Structures are given as C-alpha cells and as structure tokens.
Amino acid sequence: MSFIDTIFETLRALGDQPSIVEIHGAARKTTSARELLELQSHVRGYLELLGVKPGDRVALFAPNSARWAACDLAILGHGGIVVPLYARQDPDELAVMTRDCAPALVIAATEALAEGLMKSWPEHCPVAVFDDVFATTPSSAGRHDRSPEEAVTLIYTSGTSGTPKGVITTRQNVDFMIPQTVSSLAEIKGDRRGADAVFHYLPFCFAGSRIMLWTQLYRGNPLMVSTDLTDLVRELGTAAPHYYLNVPALLERVKNGVYGKLRERGGLVLTMYSKGLAGAQAIARGDAGLKDRLWAKVAAKLVFPKIKAQIGANLEFLICGSAPLNPDTQRWFELIGIPVYQIYGLTETTAIVTIDRPEKAVPGRVGPAIPGCEIKITGEGELLIRGPNIFPGYWNKPAETAEALVDGWLHTGDQADLDADGNLRIIGRVKNILVPESGHNVAPEPIEQLLLGHLPAAEQAVLIGHARPYLTVIVTGPVDEAAIEAAIEQVNAEVPHYRKIRKHLHVAEPLTIESGLLTANQKLRRRAIEAHFRPLLDQLYEAS
C-alpha cells in the first residue's frame, strides 16, 4: 500500500479517537479520525464540483489546522498535486510561485488571504475559501490509484539565494521516507503509537513539517497543532508534549530566555547555575577539578531539574532541523535533561538525509545517513546524496534540475564533513563562502554561531566580507556595544587571523520574515541582508 492508502485505512480504524488536536491558548479542540475523514470528503466534493482532475496542482494557502490536514488528504485522495503556500509570506512572492505551478485551484483559509493573493496575481485561477469548500456536499468517491512515480506534492524552496523553485516529491519518495521516521521514533522511545503527546508549531508548508504530519497520521498518533505562534509558551503548557520539532532559533531563544530570567533574579540561584554550567562543561572537556565537579553536582540536583520543569515537565526529547544547531546549545539541553536529536535534510531529499541516534548524538553533528541513503563528500567539501528520497527534479526547470542532479547524485550546495562513525557535520553553504581581499575562503556560519554563543542576548549575527578588505558582522537585538565588542574579542581569540572580525554594525531591531530578510523558516537571506544594509556597511568600511 502507498502511504496515502495507509493513512486513510489507519484513520478508518481509529474511528472516534483523536487525530488532530488544535491548541487554542489554554483550550483544546479535538478532531477525531472519523471527523477528519468526513471533512476531507467535503473538500473532495468541491474538487469534483470544480472539475479538478488527477495531476492538477491545487494550492493550499492556510495556517496549520485540522482543516488544512483535511484539504491535504482530499487532494491526495483525488489524485491532485498539493502545493502548500506559507500563510505569512509576502503575496508578491506567492504570486511568483502560483504563476510557476499554474494551479487549477487555490484553497485559502480566509477571505483576507484570498484577496491578498488575488491582488498580487490578477490572472489568478479560481480561489476558494475554507467556509465555502467545507460547505460543499461530501463525495463518496474512492481514492485515485496513483503510480509510485507520480508527484504528490510540489513544495517551493525558501529562496535564500534567488527565485524559489518548485521541488517535486513523488509517492515513492514519501513511501520510502515515512517508515524511516516511524522506525526512528520507535528507536528513540519505543513504539508507542497512539500514546505519544506530539506538539507541532512549524507551518505544514515546509517539507519537514509535512513529514511530521504524515508520520503521525500514518502511525495513528494524534498531532497537537499550534494555532497562534505569538502564544506559543501558553500553547506548550496546554499541550504538555513528549516531543516536538524545532528550528535552532527557538531553542536558542529558550536557552537565552532562561539565562535572562536567572540574571534578573541574581543571588545564589544564578551562582549555582553559572558555576554548575561551567563545571559540567569542564567535565565534558576532561579538565574538571574538584570544585567543578561539586558545583556541577549541586546544579544537577537543585537547579537544572527546575529549569526542565519550566520548559516542559513531560518533555522526553526534542527534534531539531532546518539549520545547524550550536553545539553548546545542544549540550545545554542535554544537561538539563532534554536530549536534542538533530535531523538534516532538504526539500529535495524528502526532508531527511540523516537522523541522530539515541545515546550516539554528537553535538555539532547531525547523525548518520538513514538506511538506504548514500552520502559522500567531494574534494571541494560539498555534500552529495543518492537514494530513494531524492526528488526527480524542479518543476518546469530542466536546467536547474540538471545542475542539481548529476549521475544520480544530488549536489546539495552544503559544505560538510564526516567523522569516523559516519556522523555528518554541516559547515555551511558552499555559495555562502566569503572570499575577502586576502583570498582566504571563509564559511560564515561557524563564526556566526561562535559569536552568538558569546553573545546570548543577540537575535542574529550575519558575517560580511566577500570582496572586502576584512570581515565585519551585523548584530541584531537588544545588546549593548560593550557586550558586542567583548564577544568579538572572544571570537577573535579562537580563530586564525583571516577569520577575525574587525568591525561590527549593531541593528536594534531583529531581522524578520515580514521585512524580507529571513525566509519563511527563519533562514538568513544573505544577499537581501547585505543589499539592505549596504549603505551603512559601506560607511563602516570607508571609516577604516
């Protein structure tokens, strides 16, 4: 059976048991498996009413909800290709995507979302809103029999370095991947299908989020869904999850938030935390003295458990993907009793290439390749991947497809290395390499991570220096100049001369998705950032 068949059969078997649980502040709204199937039948009826055919693209433009999942299932069952769109993305950028994929229909959550898209896309196809779609007479038609090679979804890349490209994902890509995620979850905490409390806040339009949704539906486990990202702390308290999927930015905020509260409180608790953390780090390095061990033991008993309880008393582990996680942050979570397992993957790899293994996770590395997937590093340090998870190509972009796929290997554009146990480390993007006038190649990501490690109050750090006399850095967030200068001094003491930072530009307001300087999953849009701040950067260099 295909993953689509398995999901539908699992939902039928679950009946009145919960499938999607929306978290609304302190309240839960549960949609049972039976209700989810009923909802998707209304969507299926609407697709039939409009004459949508198997193979047609149908764009889904909405925030996460049970209705989102119902639309996704209906389009899959109908034989359509789901094109998920980010509800908070700029309408002009979305118009580029919809023009490219030429959908037969767009389903939007609200009139406001629909109107914004239609305004930016005057030649638009039919655009329907949830209320009309779900009011349609339900369909009783059976599922479309889709071949393994057929596309099931078209997901647009985040566009960090140019125009977004539509990544085709086939049924056989997902048929391969879902059993991998199910077995990995079982390896971490045992096979507890139906009993895991799983929370999800990342938009379903991302490949990793979609795999999380399908994985839980496939294994018959309810998925708790965030409905308001501005109320995430309260939602997490309501959900009380065992685990959830993260991006590094959130974990950094959690860690920095804990330190900020302790610093405000001061006194003995701050002393125990600071000395206990330093002691634990000394133990990890292998150079701990008696006092280090004593403070680490005191903090482990009196401080760290209380921090864990505040973050999530029921948390058993966290999953992190999308970008490299600072090794110190991964160690910090493990120290307070919440192991973090990293996943590495791309939209082009059906979201996953490597997964950390329990008891074998190495901070700074993202685990070994999943079974059936091959990886190798070129002489230039670029990561190549081959396996059943590799996409067949970009939508309507044969030249870009030919550049990415060579002799069956996906050229990721990521600079990486492998340790003796096969654990992968992502250094940065090959295209992000900075070459100052000295001629040295400098990967910005490791230096940015190092700086943020010494500057916990900062929001972002963006290294600048390509074709410039030396390196500078843009620092955002509520930090003072003295702290930035002290952090840069610490970084410079740890790196060779050609990686030293000479100057900085402090910007109080953080970079945001809305400003166009971050992608939808909070990655830096480096070209846009440098262009946006070029006048200030030019002044900085001219003042040398």
pLDDT tens digits for range 233-271:
999 999 999 999 998 888 988 998 898 889 888 899 999
Domain identity same for 94 and 35: yes
pLDDT tens digits for range 131-146:
999 999 999 999 999 9
Higher confidence at residue 542 or residue 199?
199
Which pair of tokens denotes residue 433? 């390499």
Residue 469 belongs to a domain with what CATH number? 3.30.300.30
pLDDT of 456 = 86
d(CA 166, CA 102): 11
Residue 459 phi/psi, 5° resolution? -90, -50
Q: In this structure, is residue 316 part of a structural domain? A: no
pLDDT of 296 = 93
Position 343 pLDDT exceeds 80 = yes
Domain identity same for 70 and 113: yes
Position 46 pLDDT exceeds 90 = yes
Q: Are 366 and 324 in contact, with CB atoms under 8 Å apart?
A: yes
pLDDT tens digits for range 280-338:
989 988 888 999 999 999 999 999 999 999 999 999 999 999 877 888 899 999 999 99
Domain identity same for 238 and 256: no
Q: How confident is the model at residue 84 (pLDDT cuts 50, 70, 90)?
A: very high
Q: In this structure, is residue 469 part of a structural domain? A: yes
pLDDT of 285 = 85
The structure tokens 């998705």 sit at 513
Residue 488 phi/psi, 5° resolution? -60, -40
Across 193-197, 400-404, 470-474, least confident range = 193-197
pLDDT of 218 = 98
Q: Which of 73-77, 275-279, 501-505 tops mean pLDDT?
A: 73-77
Q: What is the mean pLDDT of residues 475-491?
A: 93
pLDDT of 62 = 97
Q: How confident is the model at residue 380 (pLDDT cuts 50, 70, 90)?
A: confident
Q: In this structure, is residue 293 part of a structural domain? A: yes
Q: Quote the mean pLDDT of the chain.
A: 93
pLDDT of 393 = 97
Q: In this structure, is residue 399 part of a structural domain? A: no
pLDDT of 219 = 96
CA-wise closest residue to 120 among 97, 94, 102: 94
Position 171 pLDDT exceeds 90 = yes
What Rg do the C-alpha atoms of the chain give, in angstroms?
24
CA-wise closest residue to 219 among 2, 6, 1, 4: 6
Domain identity same for 122 and 204: yes
The structure tokens 């209705």 sit at 67
Last residue of a domain, one of 311, 337, 362: 311
Domain identity same for 20 and 116: yes
Position 161 pLDDT exceeds 60 = no
pLDDT of 162 = 61
pLDDT of 159 = 60
- For residue 488, CA distances in Å to 189, 537, 541 come to 41, 17, 17
Nearest 5°: the CA angle 14, 15, 18 is 70
* Domain count within the chain: 3
Q: Percent of the chain beyond pLDDT 90? A: 76
* Beta-sheet pairing, 198-200 with 460-464: unpaired
What residue spans of 145-289 are helical by DSSP H?
Answer: 171-189, 207-218, 232-239, 248-265, 267-285
Last residue of a domain, one of 206, 221, 242: 242
Last residue of a domain, one of 311, 326, 358: 311
Domain identity same for 231 and 99: yes
Q: What is the mean pLDDT of residues 216-232?
A: 95
Sequence-separated (6 or more) residues with CB below 8 Å from residue 98: 59, 83, 85, 106, 117, 121, 124, 125
Position 152 pLDDT exceeds 80 = yes
Position 113 pLDDT exceeds 80 = yes
CA-wise closest residue to 12 among 185, 142, 177: 142
CA-wise closest residue to 123 among 149, 144, 96: 96
Position 160 pLDDT exceeds 60 = no
DSSP string, 388-455: TTS---BTT-HHHHHHHEETTEEEEEEEEEE-TT--EEEEEEGGG-B--TT---B-HHHHHHHHHHH-
Q: In this structure, is residue 19 part of a structural domain? A: yes
Position 348 pLDDT exceeds 60 = yes
SS3 of residue 175 by DSSP: helix
pLDDT of 433 = 84
CB atoms within 10 A of CB 422: 12
Q: In this structure, is residue 258 part of a structural domain? A: yes
Domain identity same for 221 and 304: no
d(CA 227, CA 63): 8
Q: In this structure, is residue 44 part of a structural domain? A: yes
d(CA 268, CA 262): 10
Position 520 pLDDT exceeds 90 = no
Q: Which of 388-392, 439-443, 493-497 tops mean pLDDT?
A: 388-392
Q: How confident is the model at residue 164 (pLDDT cuts 50, 70, 90)?
A: confident
Domain identity same for 133 and 265: no
Domain identity same for 238 and 267: no
Domain identity same for 81 and 224: yes
Which pair of tokens denotes residue 146? 């889709």
Q: In this structure, is residue 356 part of a structural domain? A: no
Domain identity same for 166 and 305: no
SS3 of residue 22 by DSSP: strand
Q: Are 59 and 98 in contact, with CB atoms under 8 Å apart?
A: yes
Position 385 pLDDT exceeds 90 = yes
Position 528 pLDDT exceeds 80 = yes
Residue 170 belongs to a domain with what CATH number? 3.40.50.12780
Domain identity same for 268 and 145: no
Domain limits for position 45: 3-242
